[in-house]
Structure 1
Amino acid sequence: MSTQTTGSLLPPETGAPQVRLGTLVNLRWLAILGQSVTVLTGSLLLDLQFELGLCAMVIGAAAVANLMTEAMRPANTRLSDRAAFGFLLFDLIQLSALLFLTGGLHNPFAMLFLAPVTISATALSLRSTLTLGAIGAALITLLGGYYLPLRLSDGRLLELSQLQLVGFWLAILISMIFLAGFAYRLTLETERTSNALLATQTALAREQKLHDLGGVIAATAHELGTPLATIKLVSSELAEELSERPDLLEDVLLIRSQADRCRDILRSMGRAGKTDHHMRTALFETLVREAAEPHIGRGIIVTCDWAAADGSDERMPSLQRRPEVIHGLRNLIQNAVDFAQSQIWIDGRWSADEIMVRIIDDGPGYPPEMLHRLGDPFVRSRRRNGYEGMGLGLFIAKTLLERTGATLSFANGRKPGQRRPSVRSGAIAEVVWPRASLAVPKIGGLGENTPLFP
């Protein structure tokens, strides 16, 4: 079951546009403001000697580009990966031009090269980020040797020693790689988790709707049973009395047959349960079999075993029929069926303190290097036996079951390097609940049914 939990999230560039134009425009205005204040402070207060006019032109070019962008597109426009890359590339080149006029790599504000690359890592594709980073590294390297010198008021050059210059260059490159890598990875993990949580909420909402719908149908069938029986009884009596009136007898028989049809329809629809205790609770075995039912008959033998733990005579408990439990167990069973070769085993155990479900298959098992990450959303994709699994299924199962108080653990039936045994050699998923969190207290009877229509 090597790929049972594996999967991959599509990179940002393959999905919807990630970057809002207004965000980049506002960041550029902030950069323009900072550049203007810094240039004016250096010229007027610190009396540094540099090409103030050319610097004003470079800053003005960025301002004009921003104004044109705002005039051409609304601020809420979502930029494609290529358009956002071009936007950030312009900022990188504009910053390089400004640094060229103010001392190049000797200018401490060269650290601002980190900004466009880090922004790219949080919003653009990996390819765009790597390209922008490579361009930034090339530009910062060129600025180490090609620039207009920055002079103090007495004419002295404001320059770093050769050793300091190389150290500053290395610091910028290392910081660029580290920050961009961290930002990209953090953004990717956040997006993966958000997508997985959305899928979990969708699955739970669907299961809850089915649960509620089954209860309404069952209650309707229960409440309509008496009037339908009355209709059938009266129609039968009328049929006997109208035996000599064939014209009316035919209509009465039609009424009786339609009443039977309504009864059969409601009976089939009401099998999902009722809104009383029958609907809200079920025996441990019944609940697990309900979760496994969609995957029985898929060509895999499903063997169930039920017993009290430690050989005690504790009776099988009744559990709350919660959608989270049914859907979570169903995902685990589906995962086992998908990767089993011919058979899976579902073991149910209970004691005075705990309730446990263990799902085992005879497949290849979990990849040992992934055991510590099982249950995380979208583990990196691996393919085996022609099947590419996705970590979303186990993430949903783990999330839903843990909401009910369960603890999940995963293992393999076969140790690394061990010769494969004949049975129960694949993946093992074990779910354990404290009995108090799921079991229904022992009470006398099921209580009264609540009428649907008072």
Structure 2
Amino acid sequence: MSDISVRSAAEDAFASRSDWVRLRTLVILRWTAVAGQLAALFAAWRFYGIDIPAAPCLAIVGLSVAVNLASSLLYAENHRLTEGEALTLLAFDSCQLTALLYLTGGLGNPFALLLLVPATIAATALNGLSIAILGGLTVLLVSLLAVLHLPLRYLNGAEIVVPAILANGFWLAIVIGVAFMALYTRRVSGELHAMSDALLATQMALAREQTLTDLSGVVAAAAHELGTPLATIKLAAGELADDLSDRPDQQADAVLIGAQADRCRDILRSMGRAGKDDLQMRAAPFQAIVEEAAEPHRDRKARITVATRGGGRPQPVLARRPEIIHGLRNLIQNAVDFSNGAVWIDLDWAAERVSLVITDDGPGFPPALLGRIGDPFVRDRARSDERRPQYEGMGLGLFIAKTLLERTGARLEFTNASDPFLAAEERPARCGARVRVSWPRDRVEMAQHDISGQNQRF
């Protein structure tokens, strides 16, 4: 799966909130509400001496019981609700609670606060239009309760009076609560689901890179194992061709067999160039790993220059981990996409750390987004159509790179190489985005005894 298809799949999953809620979830919540309503009615009558209109209240509670029973009979427990079904059931819950509050004091009833629950659930699981519809319905019901309700009375007939200022305050608090809870819950749930989708895309990208690595090892092993029989076929075909010098037709067949053996050898050699499951190929010099990550982007618009600054010290040999190669490849791709024609990769290493810096000559990171780079689905609409319209500025590639590299112990720093507000003639050659990646050397370096050991059999 390509990086673009990974991004598209994650974005589609994030954009659609349909079928997130199981019917069983709402049924369980409604049973809990029924139990709580019955307990509250009983406590108000038995312990506080409040005159409750028992028959109509029990009828309204019984309506919730009927809806639950009907839902359980008509649908399977694991039925996923559509957008319309979820909205209808949540609207019913709001109306049912409103009817119960109408009989028990309206907004003077402290349980009026529970009108926030359906709107909060909608903000968690439904789309914007459904949230707006249910939020508007809740505000309407609260406003009706503020002026239309039966007063609460004690058993002796005395009315429980709530001061007007408190009643108005209850109305305002619930209306503000609906808006605040909807916005807050929507934001938090959106970030959680975005992170979940982005992590899924990261796992898919890593699985793809691991599959390619494993496949190249299998092909290389096959090439190695088939080398001897192909050489035998080539040798036998040559001797047979010499023996059949007096039979030109059969000699041509023998020559053809030898040529096809050579072709098989060349095909296997080319397929196995990516690597093999060899202890020597599980590690490579630092520069070779970076070159491998940059290779797919060398034929594109930007000139990629790799330089080493090791101060004369021997170059470290690192593990060829798929996370490192794919993470660096995404960072280099981002630099190439936004560059004006040049990308520089500077490698450095010391006794304790290994690091590289990727710099381009493009416009650099937007200053307003510097603190958010590495988060999934970061959008910069002002530039999204300018360089990479197919990505729509999602930032998912950088998130994948950051996540994969951090799994290997890397630390990433995103900065600009120069002030993005300088005039064009004042900007240096390396004026664009700069990404620094560094690892503790002991986390990525391969020990010599791990490299020079005996090859493992497949």
Normalized against structure 2, the TM-score is what? 0.90
CA contact (8 A) 1:12 1:123 kept: no
Aligned partner of residue 305 in structure 1, secondary structure = strand
Separation in 1, partners of 2:338, 2:450: 43
The range that moved more, 140-149 or 249-258, is 249-258
CA distance 1:11–1:272, change in 2 (3 Å) = closer
Is 1:409–2:413 an aligned residue pair?
yes
Q: Which has the higher contact order (CA 8 A, sep 6+)?
A: 1
Selected match of 1:305 from 304, 307, 319? 307
- Cα distance change of structure 1 residues 343 and 61 upon mapping to structure 2, 3 Å threshold: same
Residues of 1 paired with 2:14 and 2:141: CA distance?
A: 26
SS in 2 for 1:428: strand
1:183 to 174, 182, 185: 185
Q: Look up the match of 2:324.
A: 325
Are 1:86 and 2:85 counterparts?
A: no
Q: 1:34 to 1:237 in 2, by over 3 A?
A: same
- Which of 211, 214, 219 lines up with 1:212 in the alignment? 214
Q: Which moved more, 1:295-304 or 1:161-170?
A: 161-170
What residue number does 1:352 align with?
351
SS of the aligned residue for 1:360 comes to strand
- Flag the 1:445–1:118 CA change in 2: closer, same or farther, 3 A: closer
Q: Which shifted more, 317-326 or 217-226? A: 217-226
Give the corresponding residue for 1:426: 432
Does residue 441 (structure 1) correspond to residue 447 (structure 2)? The answer is yes
Corresponding residue for residue 263 of structure 1: 265
Task: Describe the superposition over 1:257-276 as per-residue Cα deviations: whole angstroms up to 9, x where unpaired.
Answer: 12111111111111112211
Q: Distance in 2 between matches of 1:65 and 1:329?
A: 55
CA contact (8 A) 1:362 1:423 kept: yes
Mean CA deviation greater in 72-81 or 367-376: 72-81
- Higher deviation after alignment, 379-388 or 214-223: 379-388
Counterparts of 1:246 and 1:14, CA distance in 2 = 70
Distance 1:340 1:132, change over 3 A: same
Question: Hey, what's the Cα distance between the residues in 1 that align with 2:73 and 2:14?
Answer: 27
1:12/1:124 contact within 8 Å kept: no
Query: Which of these residues, 253, 256, 277, is aligned with residue 279 of structure 2?
Result: 277
Secondary structure at the aligned position of 1:205 is classed as: helix
The superposition leaves residues 372-428 of structure 1 with CA deviations (integer Å, 9 ceiling, x where unpaired) of 111111224524153322221111101110111110010012225333414211111
Instruction: State the partner residue of 2:289.
Output: 287
How many angstroms does 1:325 deviate by? Answer: 0.5
SS of the residue corresponding to residue 244 of structure 1 reads: coil
One-letter amino acid of the structure 2 residue matched with residue 357 of structure 1: L
Deviation at 1:450, TM superposition (A): 4.0
Q: Mind listing any 5+ residue stretches in structure 2 that lack a counterpart?
A: 1-6
Alignment-derived partner of residue 251 in structure 1 = 253
Question: Which of residues 234, 237, 243 in structure 2 aligns to 1:235?
Answer: 237
- Unaligned 5+ residue runs, structure 1? 1-5
Q: Residue type of the partner of 2:443?
A: S
Task: Please give the residue correspondences for 1:127-138 in structure 2 after superposition, counting only pairs within 5 Å.
Answer: 127-138=129-140
Q: In structure 1, how many angstroms separate the alpha carbons of the residues matched to 2:457 and 2:54?
A: 85
- CA distance in 2 between counterparts of 1:327 and 1:278 reads 20
Alpha-carbon offset, residue 297 of structure 1? 1.1
1:225 — aligned with what? Answer: 227
**Residues 147 and 226 of structure 1, relative CA distance in 2, 3 Å threshold:** same
- Residue in structure 2 matched with residue 393 of structure 1 by the alignment: 397
Which of the numbers 76, 79, 89 marks the counterpart of 1:77?
79
CA distance in 2, matches of 1:72, 1:419: 69
Could you say what secondary structure the match of 1:77 adopts? coil
The secondary structure found in structure 2 opposite 1:19 is: coil
Q: Give the letter for the 1:375 counterpart.
A: G
Separation of aligned partners in 2, 1:165 and 1:444? 75
Q: CA deviation at 1:126?
A: 2.7
Partners of 1:317 and 1:153 lie apart in 2 by 86
Report which stretch shifted further, 73-82 or 442-451: 442-451
Change (3 A) 1:397 1:445: closer
| CA distance 1:58–1:221, shift in 2 (3 Å) | same
- CA shift for structure 1 position 201: 0.8
State the distance in 2 between where 1:16 and 1:204 align: 28
Q: CA RMSD, aligned part only?
A: 2.3
Residue 409 of structure 2 aligns with an amino acid whose one-letter code is G
Does the CA-based 8 Å contact 1:12-1:18 persist in structure 2?
no
Deviation at 1:447, TM superposition (A): 4.5
CA deviation after TM superposition for structure 1 residue 30, in Å:
1.8
Cα distance in 2 for partners of 1:300, 1:263 equals 35
Which deviates the most, 161-170 or 334-343?
Answer: 161-170
Q: Which position in structure 1 is the counterpart of 2:368?
A: 369
1:324-354 deviation per Cα after TM superposition (whole angstroms, max 9, x unaligned): 0000001111111111122211111222222
Query: In structure 1, what is the equivalent of residue 203 of structure 2?
Result: 201
Task: Report the Cα offset of residue 94 of structure 1.
Answer: 1.1
Structure 1 CA distance, aligned partners of 2:71 and 2:54?
Answer: 26
- Alpha-carbon distance change, 160 to 12 in structure 1, aligned in 2, over 3 angstroms: farther
Alignment check: 8 A CA contact 2:364 2:420 kept: no
User: How many aligned positions are there?
Assistant: 444
* Greater CA drift, 130-139 or 186-195: 130-139
Pairing of 1:96-135 with structure 2 (within 5 A):
96-135=98-137
Tell whether the 8 Å contact from 1:215 to 1:279 is kept in structure 2 after alignment: no
Contact 1:337 1:361 in 2 (8 A): yes
The 1:181–1:197 alpha-carbon spacing in structure 2 relative to 1, beyond 3 Å, is: same
Structure 1 pair 423–64 and aligned structure 2 pair: CA distance change class (3 A): same
- 1:3 corresponds in structure 2 to none
- Cα distance in 1, alignment partners of residues 395 and 22 from structure 2: 30
Q: What secondary structure, in the 3-state scheme, does the structure 2 residue paired with 1:287 have?
A: helix
Letter in 1 for 2:394: M
Letter in 2 for 1:331: N
How far apart, CA to CA, are the structure 2 residues paired with 1:33 and 1:12? 35
Note the C-alpha offset of 1:255: 2.0
Q: Structure 1 stretch 253-262 or stretch 374-383: which is displaced more?
A: 374-383
Q: Is the aligned partner of 1:63 residue 2:54?
A: no
Q: Is the 8 A contact 1:12 1:125 kept in 2?
A: no
Distance in 2, Cα, partners of 1:211 & 1:149: 74
